[in-house]
Amino acid sequence: MCRNTGNRKRVPKKAVVVQHVPHEGLGSLGPFLKQAGIEAEYIRTYRGEKVPRCIGTGAEKDTVLIVLGGPMGAYEDDKYPFLKDELRLIESALKNGSPALGICLGSQLMARAAGAEVYPGKAKEIGWYTLRLTEEGKRDRLFVGLPDEMDVFQWHGDTFDVPFRGVLLASSDLFPNQLLKLGKRAYAIQFHLEVTGAMVDSWLRENKEEIEALKGKISPKAVEEETSSKIATLRRRGEAVFSRFLRL
């Protein structure tokens, strides 16, 4: 049983970080956890590490949940049984009002845990794409003051609906649902604010077959060139968002 018995206003001292593949880590978010004195406790599902049942109660009441990206689909829990455990964990975070951040696959799992459908999109976003904040996004405390339109790094083919009581904060041309707020302290981010230049290089190598299967629709060289010119700006904006999130 997972009941909320703690004071939610206390500052988090630990972050439970669910990591699905070695090359998709915290990126630029990692230093902010250290600066805030928050210890990252990794749950590496690719190593078979057990996902906890719940978060936000008892000794875990001061814990933030971060669910990272990965190549699997949020609906593939028959193929990847640990996803069922993650959904249960995310449900507990949403129920108990814990600060929670889902990135890419993590955002899709959060949307599903909140009751929305997750499914393949009509195309893939791989590389740099323009994101537009909604009116709610412009007013949100994580994104207020950021440009209404900005280029962000993407690597996904799946998407999600907006769940009941979820708030849509941003969209792109190919994927209208890019950023959700779920409750007061939970955010589902489809794109990658945490990515670094080194991570982009690694992803292009690790996912070479995926790019080749697109038959020329994605140019790794073009992605690399855009990354060199845009990554510094992305980092600054990511720093603003992450620092605000950790103050929630």
The residues with which 90 forms a beta bridge, in sequence order, are none
Length reported for the chain: 248
pLDDT value for 6: 45
Coil, strand, or helix at residue 9? coil
**Which listed residue (24, 54, 104, 125) is catalytic?**
104
Is residue 49 part of the annotated active site? The answer reads no
Question: Does the structure show a pLDDT above 50 at 5?
Answer: no
Domains observed in the chain: 14-246 (3.40.50.880)
Question: Does the structure show a pLDDT above 80 at 98?
Answer: yes
Indicate the helix (H) or strand (E) that contains 125. Answer: strand 118-133
Q: Is there a contact between 140 and 186 (Cβ–Cβ < 8 Å)?
A: no
Q: What gap in Å lies between CA 232 and CA 39, rounded to an integer?
A: 26
**Which amino acid type is present at position 65?**
L
Give the model's confidence band at 11: pLDDT under 50 very low, under 70 low, under 90 confident, else very high: low
27-45 residue pLDDT tens: 999 998 998 899 999 999 9
What percentage of the chain exceeds 70 in pLDDT?
93
pLDDT value for 248: 81
**Which listed residue (192, 209, 212, 224) is catalytic?**
192
What would the mean pLDDT of 99-128 be, rounded to a whole number? Answer: 97
pLDDT value for 13: 84
Is residue 192 part of the annotated active site? The answer reads yes
Is residue 149 part of the annotated active site? The answer reads no
What would the mean pLDDT of 62-68 be, rounded to a whole number? Answer: 92
List strands edge to edge, sheet with 167-171: 39-44, 14-19, 63-67, 100-103, 186-189, 179-181, 167-171, 118-133, 149-160
pLDDT value for 21: 97
247-28-158 Cα angle (round to 5):
95
DSSP H helices, the chain, are 29-35, 82-96, 105-113, 135-139, 197-206, 208-213, 220-246
pLDDT value for 161: 98
pTM for the model: 0.94
167-217 residue pLDDT tens: 999 999 999 999 999 999 999 999 999 999 999 999 999 999 999 999 999
